[in-house]
Amino acid sequence: MPKGPRFQTPQGMHDVLPEDQPYIERISGVVKDVADFYGYARIDTPMLEDAALFEKGIGVTTDIVEKQMYFLRTKGGDVLAMRPEFTAGIARAYIQHGMINLPQPVKLYSTGPLFRHESPQAGRFRQFHQFDFEIFGEQSPANDAQIIQMFYAILRELKFSHLIIEVNSIGDSQCRPYYKKLLVNYLRPRQYSLCVDCRRRMKENPLRILDCKEEKCQRVRSQAPQIIDSLCDECKNHFKQLLEFLDEADLPYHLNPHLVRGLDYYTKTVFEIFVETEGDQGEGKTLALAGGGRFDTLVKLLGGKDVPATGAAAGMERIVSLLKEKQLFTPPTPQYRIFLAQLGDAAKKKSAKLLEEMRKAKLNVAESVGRDSLRAQLARADKLGAEFTLILGQREVLDNTIVIREMAKGTQETVKLEKVVEEVRKRLKK
């Protein structure tokens, strides 16, 4: 049995191959267009941050910090972590660079790789890519609505249909402690019907039980008290206004009282956007494409001032996979109307300069400078659908000329080399 390659990607990591790059570029292009329209400036934070940033910002009892972060210790003794999400790093940058002194709100967006040591499965990787939007400095529910609308617009622009927005409010420090007591009181007599993780969460992070995907935990939570019934007046009004904004924007949403998101920094609004897909047996199922919410306490928690904020992120790998599966995007095939063929070393040397002249003139030219056979090069030009082939041989180099061959007719003409760009432009216009 033949052996495989000696080195392969680490488990859960993947190569973004050339055939996938057009999909990434398509998503990135839509993201940038929407960001530019809504006035979001790009920010890139380091892939390595102080590990304590995520422990403090995301929460030490969250799955990300407990189970999924990649840690490393530097030679100087610093404990760093590869970023598992964008928000904490962007909030750190907001504080570090004094962005509170800028006109508020400050709108930022980012794209790039993130890292989580979770069990690899279909569509999930340990190194993955997201795009992320954040607004700092305003507490209006209009900002929450804008974030939701932008992510919905990006997905619609990518041709997704049957999108569902699920939205909830998880309250704040005023009303959430009371709800936690209600929830724990409900769960305590039912704790042995929960999974092992959720029994542990009862003491550390009971809200996460509402988010558990285990079927037996979902059965228990179905009768649990709902946080929306325990909201304080401020959170209730904020949520009511948010829903009014979503109604006015004609965004399709429904309330999910069990939606809590997996990070400790969230307050008030949380949301996720799902797309309906067909399962293996043709039954409908939903996949989450984007999610986020409000995080009004994070900046202060990380040592800054009391700054309200809201934001969201979406995973690019899952979107790429669905774009392919649903055939929502066809990568463009490069169109080459001109092919440059060369014969011999002198012609190869001359063609290097000519190709650069063509590039500066914005003429799209294909070539095969490693080949010497004219027949092989003409066959490649024909396969690419080139209308004209420029032929540069030894004689042409000596005469400072070049042959322009019209591929469809098989006719050709010799012109001065310094005139070729102008001559090609004329023929392409015809």
Provide the CA 232 distance to its chain's centre, in angstroms: 35
Q: How far is CA 30 from CA 154, 156, 161, 428, in A?
A: 6, 10, 16, 31
| Cβ contact 289:274 at 8 Å | yes
Q: How far is CA 218 from CA 164, 195, 209, 409, in A?
A: 20, 10, 9, 71
The verdict on whether residue 265 carries a ligand-binding annotation is yes
Cβ neighbours for 429, distance < 8 A, ≥ 6 positions apart: none
The verdict on whether residue 134 carries a ligand-binding annotation is yes
The verdict on whether residue 130 carries a ligand-binding annotation is yes
| Cβ contact 128:317 at 8 Å | yes
**Cα–Cα nearest to 386, from 332, 341, 331, 423:** 341
The verdict on whether residue 336 carries a ligand-binding annotation is no
CA angle 207, 208, 210 (to 5 degrees): 75
**Backbone dihedral angles phi then psi of residue 413, each to the nearest 5 degrees:** -145, 145
CA distance 315 to 71: 22
Q: How many Cβ atoms are within 10 Å of 321's Cβ, its own excluded?
A: 16
The verdict on whether residue 85 carries a ligand-binding annotation is yes
The verdict on whether residue 54 carries a ligand-binding annotation is no
Cβ neighbours for 129, distance < 8 A, ≥ 6 positions apart: 24, 111, 112, 113, 114, 315, 316, 317
The verdict on whether residue 7 carries a ligand-binding annotation is no
Q: Compute the Cα dihedral for 218, 222, 227, 230 and give only its sign.
A: negative
10 is written with which tokens? 């680490």
Q: How far is CA 159 from CA 3, 246, 288, in A?
A: 42, 21, 16
Known binding positions: 85-87, 116, 130, 134, 261, 265-266
Annotated binding-site positions for L-histidine? 85-87, 116, 130, 134, 261, 265-266
